[in-house]
Amino acid sequence: MAVWLRPPAGSIPDAPGSYQFSDADGRVIYVGKAKSLRSRLSNYFQNPAGLPPRTAQMVATAESVTWVVVRNELEALMLEYSLIKAHQPRFNVRLRDDKTYPLLAVTVADTWPRAMVMRGTRTKGVRYFGPYANAWAIRQTLDLLLRTFPVRTCSDTKLRRHEKLGKPCLLFHIEKCSGPCVGAITPDDYQALVDELLGFLDGDTQPVLDRLAADMAAAASELEFEHAARLRDRIEGVTKVIERQQMVVDSDEDLDVVGIGGDDLESAVQVLYVRRGRVVGHKGFVLDNVEDLDGPGMVARVVGELYADDPPLGVPREVLVPEPPADHDVMEAFLATQRGSKVRIRVAQRGDKRSLAEMVGRNATEEFNRHRLKRAADHNSRARALNELQQALGLPGSAVAHRMLRHEPHPGHRLRGLDGGARRRHAPAARVPPVQGAHRGRQRRRGRHDRGAHPPVRGLPGRSGPSGG
């Protein structure tokens, strides 16, 4: 149901729902939710002087408001996030990746699933683990795991090429691939190998260690000492991977820890992923504070944005936040819907969880400070480049900036190449002052040539000079 901005109060339903403000071109610029649409929307139509600055700017930009009535607050919240995802409103809080973190991916939908390190958007049919802090660490981890779980890491093109050749690649010979390209393993055994790898990456590490230890003991009892030594090396590799995943809470707990730090314009968000008591990854965001939200409102918006889409490691049983979010019960019901079971959102009060939450909060503040310094350095770099261009062209800084923005050349100059070098074009000839020293004789000779004292040398068009040197 669409109405013009500032509709009569009686036309707005006193029911839960989601509302959208649109500008003159019909673009959705803000999406919100309310327990009572009538009560919430009436707050926007008061004197603009009493509104927060960003809210006042949004209302001044908007031309119309629409709303959708739903049955309860949970449905209103889910509809709000769906509309934000669809329209990307300019006045809603936006989370953007401060950097692209690497993920460990397993293509479970393939006939022969492949393990690889990747970045970017997620696709269906792929299981993701992470994100991790740096690509080098996860590649080294994958290299250690391949000795115990020798799944393929080659591309589909390389797999088909070796299938046609009937010869495996080097990884098969160094026991880091089970050789599906040459039929060295059956599909069922290969799938069992992949399932073990997925379970290990999910944090279920003890069954893998027990199996390897039993196999090593059996090989030693049968006097297969070389095979037992290889199994010992695999146990050492798996143990190194487990040791890198530090135990921070009880071994059966799955939780995410959210930290927020920033100022009125931007904030940094840090999320630490803990599965089965071990840190399995973390991720950072930079948040544009385009909404006028208080602390609980900001926490609610961040948590909603984190779990509105499919998160890389799913929704945990517990989410630790710096302070309780607005509409706490509704947010818990929303996450429970996303997970399929109960989810707790709470502030850690004591013990390891409190220490962990404080550490993530400090990381968020430090990340924000680094982001602010980087932004200041980029600004200073642009300012220096603009100043150098100003000096090269001999223009005031404002004139340089004006021409840079409009892509106009300086009068009498044109840009040449990528280095920004300039040369004269259609510039009026300037009067050359008398040349002193060695150039004076050349001027005298040029003057005699013009008076005809010495005729031009034949065969050299455009040049003249004395015939005798």
Q: Average pLDDT in the 281-307 region?
A: 81
**Residue 172, pLDDT above cutoff 80:** yes
Asked if the model's pLDDT at residue 2 lies above 70, the reply is no
Q: What is the pLDDT of residues 10-46, one digit of tens each?
A: 788 999 999 999 998 989 999 999 999 999 998 888 8
Read off the pLDDT band of 459 (50, 70, 90): very low
Q: Can you give the pLDDT at residue 398? A: 52
What's the CA gap between 99 and 268, in Å, rounded? 12
Percent of the chain having pLDDT more than 70? 75
How much is the pLDDT for 397?
Answer: 53
Lowest mean pLDDT among 48-62, 146-160, 199-213, 336-350: 199-213
pLDDT score, position 225: 85
444 has pLDDT over 70:
no
Residue 92 has pLDDT above 50, yes or no: yes
- Give Rg (Cα) of the chain: 34
Check pLDDT > 80 for residue 292: no
How many angstroms separate the CA atoms of 176 and 170, rounded? 9
Which strand (E) or helix (H) includes residue 86?
A: helix 73-87
**pTM, full prediction:** 0.57
In this prediction, residues 220-235 reach a mean pLDDT of: 83
Query: Nearest 10 degrees: CA dihedral of 188, 200, 318, 244?
Result: -160
Please check the confidence at residue 61 and state whether its pLDDT lies above 70.
Answer: yes
- Kindly list the structural domains of the chain, giving each domain's residue range(s) and its CATH number in brackets, ordered by start: 2-92 (3.40.1440.10), 103-202 (no CATH), 255-369 (3.30.420), 378-419 (no CATH)
Query: Residue ranges of the alpha helices (H) in 88-155?
Result: 135-145
Which among 128-132, 194-198, 291-295, 390-394 has the top mean pLDDT?
194-198
pLDDT of 435 higher than 90? no
DSSP three-state, residue 129: strand
What's the average model confidence in pLDDT over 226-240? 79
Q: What percent of the chain has pLDDT above 90?
A: 23
Per-residue confidence (pLDDT) for residue 347, from 0 to 100: 94
| For residue 332, pLDDT beyond 70 | yes
Q: Which tens digit of pLDDT belongs to each residue from 245-267?
A: 555 666 678 899 999 988 777 88
Q: Which of 94, 87, 45 is nearest to 293 (CA)?
A: 94
| Residue 81 scores a pLDDT above 80 | yes
Q: What is the DSSP string of 153-184?
A: -S-HHHHHHHHHHT---HHHHTTSS--GGGTS
∠ CA(434), CA(427), CA(441), 5° rounding?
A: 20
